A and B are shown apart, each in its own frame.
Chain A
Amino acid sequence: MNTTNNSLTAAVQLALGVQTGSATTSDRPAPALEARSISKSYTIGGQSRRVLDGIDFRVDHGECVFLAGPSGSGKSTLLSIMGFLLSKDSGELFLDGQRVDDLGEAKRTTIRREQIGFVFQRFQLIHGLSATDNVAIPLTLGSMGLAEARNQAAKLLERVGLGEHRDALPSAMSPGQCQRVALARAVIAKPNLILADEPTAALDGDSGKAVMELLRELTSGSSTATVVVTHDPRIFPYADRVCEMENGRFK
């Protein structure tokens, strides 16, 4: 799934069963993800408040883009829309050149399962599962057996420096270790896109940098695109591009 753009396109078509559209108008390769004129409003206290105001955004394969900005600027909302966790009010969304907005819930779930890896601010590990089993979840959502998934998960945990914590429960690990487990879970199925929402917010400075280094290391040399929402300017050097948002628009 992470070899060439052509194979990615085919994989998306296969997964979605969507019609092939002309998402790009030039010879430039289709971006991993592209959002056009995305708008979103929330109704708060009976009043409609626009959170995203005609946002255009793209992230290419292998690129790591940071979304920065003050609270309430719409970063997380945009991330949720790009992650098919939230519906937009208007606009278009393309995944590998395929228009994928307005899909039904089943297809959105399929995209999340097969194309996207998530990293959450508070790790969101399953407390009853060991580190290995947490990392193995995305593999077992496909057709892989639990034993093989655990084997691959153990190898990845070794790679992220948690070889000795394979059987540890999340409650027995430090926040930094938990976030490394969460990173491993996000990348193990080799997704086309990784969406990370403030992955360093719950970590101290050193742990935050270590997590970002690990994220770059795990995605380097692959065509996986990464979008990171963050407030933390200390990790900006890990971005290929930083997009600052304010009041639902890019600055």
Chain B
Amino acid sequence: MRWNIAYRTLFYDRGKLIAGLVGVIFSVVLVNIQGGLFFGLIRKASTLITRSNADIWVGHRGMHNVDFAHPIPERYRYVAAGVDGVAEVQPLRIYFTDISLPKGGYENVALVGLSRSTTPGGLTYDVDQPSMDWAGRNDAILVDQCDAGKLGSPSIGELREINGRRVRIVGQSNGILSFLITPYVFTGYDEAADICQGDPNDTSYLLVRLQDGADAARVCQEIESLLPDASAMTAEQYSAVSVNFWMTRTGLGISFGAATILGLLVGLVMVGQTLYAMVLDRINEYATLRAIGLTERELLAILLCQSSLVAMLGISIGLVLTVLLKQSFSTPTAAIEIPLFLYIGGAALIFGICLFASGLPYLRVRRIDPHTVLQG
């Protein structure tokens, strides 16, 4: 009967029910979209890594961010290639420079030099081009179509200048975006050093691909023991390190976290206030129930039932709305990436908050004086 009283009285007052649902839905959408934007943004900190086909990244000792590479001797590639379990090693260079814009200005870019050597295992880096022929041209570059706005709407065949050198746009990558404001521009490995006048004996990273069944951790250890000035990490490890760099050094996690908590608090207040208003509207009914013999615990059970119903309904609607919003508004530039744990964790958290929110009306119910009912 407590359940019957709880849900019938809840659905009887549809206006209040809708207000409560709006609070929960708001919280669910806010938490998931906010979290999804955060994960989408922070994922850019490791896009260069996650879009590679490499199993292990080798860079300078203490490497902490994929974009800020310190050069290492390219000859290290031969040492790494000799480690048991390594299938192939290809170098990758990153330089910060600028590119000319059609209207005469310049835009800072990260020029990424990719090896054009092909192996039976394929490329260690794939930029969505059918072949690496483009990298065989001395002046060829690729730009990302998502950076078109920053780069002045580049078109295929268009000529630009990078670091004073004429280059030709021969293709476009898709969705390889930097966490920094500087777009990635891809060119051949040797051409990158040539354009930026880098030391041809140095490289930024060595991208290692493992043989089937090789132990990545062991290979990393062995590379580091052979190359004391280098660090070797699996792609997952270096991806996490790069993400962590921005999280801890920019306070990004705290900012997003604070905004998310604020959203949760707003939802909590809305749900709590709605339940409280419902109780105030029905205070005589609660007093009547108290008078005819319901205990405080039973009244609390009714409130918890109502909170649970509001929570479950609101969470369900909120999740559907979140998925729709994600599909409608997520772009490579402003990616909304909501991992499963965020859906589940957010729902569980909001459910708990709704139960907690029923504490406010419960405090009011506890103070009900049934005698007042008899007074009419």
Contact = CB atoms under 8 A, between A and B. Distances in A.
B1 A106 contact: no
A138 B289 CA distance: 9
B149 interface: no
A85 B1 contact: no
A172 interface: no
B8 A118 contact: no
Task: List the 7 closest A-B pairs by CB distance, nearest first.
Answer: A113-B293, A128-B12, A140-B1, A128-B9, A124-B288, A128-B8, A121-B376
Interface in B104-148: none
Nearest to A110: B293
A86 B1 contact: no
B76 to A, nearest CB: 75
A109 B288 CA distance: 12
25 contacts: A76-B374, A79-B374, A80-B371, A83-B374, A85-B370, A85-B371, A109-B293, A109-B294, A110-B293, A112-B293, A118-B292, A120-B288, A124-B284, A124-B288, A127-B9, A127-B282, A127-B285, A128-B8, A133-B1, A136-B1, A137-B5, A138-B292, A141-B294, A169-B12, A185-B292
Contacts of A112: 291-293
B248 interface: no
A227 B371 CA distance: 16
Interface string A73-95: 00010011001011000000000
A87 to B, nearest CB: 9
Interface string B1-37: 1001100111111000000000000000000000000
Range class of the A interface residue count:
35 or more
B366 to A, nearest CB: 11
A197 B374 contact: yes
Contacts of B292: 112-113, 117-118, 137-138, 141, 185
Contacts of A58: none
Interface string B280-303: 001011011111111100000000
Contacts of A106: 295
A121 B11 CA distance: 26
A133 B288 contact: no
Contact of A76 (B4, B10, B289, B375): B375
B269 interface: no
B343 to A, nearest CB: 33
A24 B263 CA distance: 65
Interface string A183-208: 00100000000000110010000000
A3 to B, nearest CB: 21
A126 interface: yes
A129 interface: yes
B272 to A, nearest CB: 21
Interface centre among B13, B295, B374, B375 (most CB of A within 10 A): B374
Binding site of B, secondary structure by majority: helix, strand, loop or mixed? helix
Nearest to A136: B1
Interface centre among B10, B285, B290 (most CB of A within 10 A): B285
A106 B374 CA distance: 20
Interface string A175-186: 000000000010
B221 to A, nearest CB: 67
A227 to B, nearest CB: 12
B12 to A, nearest CB: 3
Interface residues of B, number: 28
Contact of A133 (B8, B287, B291, B374): B8
A135 to B, nearest CB: 11
Contacts of B11: 128
A103 B370 CA distance: 16
Contacts of B13: 128
A127 B291 CA distance: 16
B9 A197 contact: no
Contacts of A216: none
A69 to B, nearest CB: 15
B376 A133 contact: no
B293 A126 contact: no
A104 B375 CA distance: 23
A18 to B, nearest CB: 18
A129 B7 CA distance: 10
B373 interface: yes
Contacts of A155: none
Interface centre among A110, A127, A140 (most CB of B within 10 A): A127
Interface in A120-171: 120-122, 124-129, 133, 136-138, 140-141, 146, 149, 169
A198 B376 contact: yes
Contacts of B289: 126, 137
Contacts of A124: 284-285, 287-288, 291, 373
A133 B4 contact: yes
Contacts of A117: 292
A129 B9 contact: yes
A114 interface: yes
Nearest to A130: B8
Contacts of B370: 85
Contacts of A141: 1, 292-294
Contacts of B288: 120, 124-126
Given A109-B295, A137-B292, A146-B1, A126 B376 contact: no
Contact of B374 (A85, A109, A126, A146): A85
Nearest to A112: B293
A239 to B, nearest CB: 19
